[in-house]
């Protein structure tokens, strides 16, 4: 029987689920996880002011959200001290990255990233026909020198860098990132993913330079602000680049409750700082548990700790699967050299206690 056909590009893409969520794993096993430590969420939750604001707004969900995101854009512009014309709100960083790929990529255009870096960006590139050129990590950090060399060699349209990095949790200083950006061709757009910027040490985030047309920065409410389920992030760039989003974005994509929640979260910086302190304490606790079990925690500037299991990828995968069988959800990098690790998100103290209880047995069973 004849049927409508996909485009050749769509037909060439793999039929896969990019991320198998903890809910799917729970359905497969028939058991709920006791410690949800794999998705880099904030189990400390949002500010109580956010919960109050959402509750007050629930009766208005019959209305579409403001398609201009007016109040949130103005609040964000004031927060980061740039004009509102330099800020765009979207459905999380993932949604904004997809719009960037749509705006800037022709089929066959080269995009440079690190092998093993955040994979959702790669899916967007593939979905719009771009050609990925990857460079390896160096000492568990994205290699700025290798990224710059590849961008110059390939005359890349886009270069992606997360700082701090996911999945390794490592980071570069603001001065090093600024030098990297300056080394790129003026026609190469640097996509600087700062999803974990709030949890990074001082001196990690470069000053905002909105007059540089080949740098676009991305931030989110999903991590430290505790709003992963509402999907709200924002981009900061020069005004023409921000205006271009209006050509392709889903103008009603950021829903009314997400706008309300993000505004309330942004207004409660005291809660944010308290959460950042809890995250730092959680990183220390996870690192100590790893060390106590003979593993090596990699210093982290994020809301997770990546742990070197000391052997190969098969062993690290076995550790992950054994932890899952014991009710502890974690994730791991999958490319060679990085795949020797598992990645554990900071959770509530009671979840960290479960990790401490279960890790010794999981290591023994995996070994």
Q: Tens digit of pLDDT for each residue in 112-131?
A: 999 999 999 999 999 999 99
Q: Out of 223, 248, 267, pick the residue that ends a domain.
A: 267
CA distance linking residue 90 with residue 232, whole number of Å: 6
Predicted confidence at residue 67, as pLDDT, reads 97
44 cis-preceded (ω within 30 degrees of 0):
no
Residue 64 belongs to domain with CATH number? 3.40.640.10
Predicted confidence at residue 188, as pLDDT, reads 98
Indicate whether 88 belongs to any domain: yes
Indicate whether 278 belongs to any domain: yes
Provide the number of structural domains found in the chain.
2
* Domain co-membership, 236 together with 274: no
* Domain co-membership, 73 together with 133: yes
* Domain co-membership, 55 together with 140: yes
* Domain co-membership, 239 together with 306: no
* Domain co-membership, 56 together with 75: yes
Indicate whether 262 belongs to any domain: yes
* Domain co-membership, 193 together with 342: no
Indicate whether 112 belongs to any domain: yes
Mean pLDDT over 69-78 rounds to 98
Q: Out of 244, 267, 290, pick the residue that ends a domain.
A: 267
Q: How many Å is the Cα radius of gyration of the chain?
A: 21
Q: Tens digit of pLDDT for each residue in 272-324?
A: 999 999 999 999 999 999 999 999 999 999 999 999 999 999 999 999 999 99
Predicted confidence at residue 331, as pLDDT, reads 97
With 90 as the cut, is the pLDDT of residue 35 above it? yes
pLDDT mean across residues, the chain: 96
Residue 303 belongs to domain with CATH number? 3.90.1150.10
* Domain co-membership, 255 together with 117: yes
Closest CA relative to residue 364, chosen from 299, 294, 312, 304: 294
Indicate whether 9 belongs to any domain: no
Indicate whether 131 belongs to any domain: yes
Indicate whether 2 belongs to any domain: no
3-state SS assignment for residue 243 = helix
Indicate whether 98 belongs to any domain: yes
What is the total residue count of the chain? 367
* Domain co-membership, 287 together with 153: no
Q: Tens digit of pLDDT for each residue in 127-141?
A: 999 999 999 999 999
pLDDT band of 339, cuts 50, 70, 90: very high
Q: Out of 237, 267, 297, pick the residue that ends a domain.
A: 267
Task: For the beta carbon of residue 278, count every other beta carbon within 10 angstroms.
Answer: 17
Kindly give the residue spans of alpha helices, DSSP state H, lying in 81-118: 92-104
Q: What is the residue range of 76's domain?
A: 48-267
Closest CA relative to residue 170, chosen from 112, 225, 215, 114: 114
Give the CB-side neighbour count of residue 182, counting CA atoms within 13 A.
Answer: 8
pLDDT band of 1, cuts 50, 70, 90: confident
* Domain co-membership, 348 together with 230: no
* Domain co-membership, 76 together with 215: yes
* Domain co-membership, 200 together with 96: yes
């Amino acid at each position: 029987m004849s049927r409508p056909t996909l485009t050749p590009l769509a037909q060439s893409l793999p039929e896969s689920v990019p991320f198998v969520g903890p809910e799917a794993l729970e359905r497969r096993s028939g058991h709920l996880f006791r410690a949800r430590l794999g998705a880099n969420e904030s189990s400390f939750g949002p500010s109580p002011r956010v919960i109050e604001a959402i509750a007050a707004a629930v009766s208005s969900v019959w209305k579409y959200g403001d398609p201009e995101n007016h109040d949130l854009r103005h609040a964000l512009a004031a927060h980061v001290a740039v004009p509102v014309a330099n800020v765009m709100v979207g459905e999380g960083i993932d949604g904004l990255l997809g719009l960037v790929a749509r705006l800037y990529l022709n089929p066959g255009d080269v995009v440079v990233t690190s092998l093993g870096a955040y994979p959702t960006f790669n899916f967007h590139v593939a979905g719009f026909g771009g050609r990925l050129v990857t460079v390896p990590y160096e000492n568990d950090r994205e290699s700025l020198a290798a990224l710059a060399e590849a961008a110059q060699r390939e005359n890349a349209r886009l270069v992606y860098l997360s700082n701090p990095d996911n999945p390794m949790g490592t980071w570069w200083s603001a001065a090093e990132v600024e030098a990297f950006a300056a080394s790129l061709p003026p026609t190469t757009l640097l996509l600087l993913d700062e999803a974990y910027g709030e949890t990074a040490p001082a001196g990690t985030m470069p000053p905002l330079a909105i007059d540089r047309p080949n740098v676009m920065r991305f931030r989110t409410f999903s991590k430290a602000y505790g709003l992963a389920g509402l999907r709200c992030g924002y981009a900061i760039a020069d005004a023409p680049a921000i205006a271009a989003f209006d050509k392709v974005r889903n103008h009603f994509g950021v829903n009314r409750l997400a706008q309300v929640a993000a505004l309330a979260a942004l207004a409660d910086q005291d809660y944010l700082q308290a959460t950042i302190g809890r995250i730092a304490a959680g990183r220390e606790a996870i690192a100590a548990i790893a060390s106590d079990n003979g593993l090596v925690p990699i210093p982290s500037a994020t809301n997770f700790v990546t742990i070197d299991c000391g052997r190969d990828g098969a062993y690290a995968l076995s550790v992950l699967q054994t932890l899952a069988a014991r009710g502890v959800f974690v994730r791991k990098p999958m490319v060679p050299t990085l795949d020797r690790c598992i990645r554990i998100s900071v959770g509530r103290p009671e979840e960290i206690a479960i990790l401490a209880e279960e890790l010794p047995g999981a290591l023994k069973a995996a070994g």
